[in-house]
């Protein structure tokens, strides 16, 4: 499921990432806004959640998984990815992020398979290194889809 959702249309790369964490979340969400998976209020809810709870979306070294509640404007399950260079500080310098995932879930259960597949992908440091070195959305999609073929 993750491998169907993450593709060249939902992956972006910004090699001149001079932005703050709020801008990174907004930019990471653009493909999901364009394909009508989420509404603008979902993006605002993700940002508000980090403001209220701190950098809890930092799920690994250099990796963030932004998300909010389904009732905040989710139309369908979706995932997007923004790879930034240089790293963008999430709230403070202790949380430098380069891989910004956005997850939209329509309920409390349907996205669990996506989370499991994402955990498997991000559990492979070699894959993460390749993702960080990718120079195009197409290349990033191929790296991610290699994980699908290996399963």
Domain with 137, as residue range(s), is: 2-150
Q: What is the pLDDT of residue 147?
A: 55
* Residues with active-site annotation: 67
How many structural domains is the chain composed of? 1
Token readout for 139 is 């290349």
pLDDT tens for the chain, 151 residues long, are 888 899 999 999 999 989 999 999 999 999 999 999 999 999 999 999 999 999 999 999 999 999 999 999 999 999 999 999 999 999 888 999 999 999 999 988 878 888 899 999 999 999 999 999 999 999 999 998 875 554 4
Q: What is the pLDDT of residue 108?
A: 80
Measure the CA–CA gap between 58 and 43, rounded to whole angstroms.
17
Measure the CA–CA gap between 97 and 49, rounded to whole angstroms.
17
Give the chain as a DSSP string.
-HHHHSSTTTEEEETT----HHHHHHHHHHHHHHTTSB-HHHHHHHHHHHHHH-STTEEETTEEEE---GGGTB-S-EEEEEEEEEEEEESEEEEEEEEEEEEE-SSSSTTHHHHHHHHHHHT-HHHHHHHHH--SHHHHHHHHHHHHHH-
User: CATH no. for residue 126?
Assistant: 3.40.930.10
């Amino acid at each position: 499921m993750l491998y169907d959702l993450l593709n060249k249309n939902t992956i972006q790369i910004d090699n001149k990432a001079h932005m703050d964490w709020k801008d990174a979340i907004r930019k990471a969400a653009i493909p999901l806004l364009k394909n009508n998976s989420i509404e603008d209020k979902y993006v605002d809810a993700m940002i508000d959640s980090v403001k209220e709870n701190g950098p809890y979306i930092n799920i690994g070294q250099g990796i963030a998984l932004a998300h909010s509640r389904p009732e905040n404007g989710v139309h369908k399950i979706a995932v997007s990815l923004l790879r930034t260079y240089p790293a963008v500080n999430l709230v403070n310098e202790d949380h430098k992020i380069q891989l910004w995932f956005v997850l939209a879930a329509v309920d409390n259960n349907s996205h669990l398979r996506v989370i499991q597949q994402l955990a498997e992908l991000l559990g492979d440091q070699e894959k993460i290194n390749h993702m960080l070195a990718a120079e195009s959305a197409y290349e990033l999609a191929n790296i991610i889809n290699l994980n699908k073929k290996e399963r």
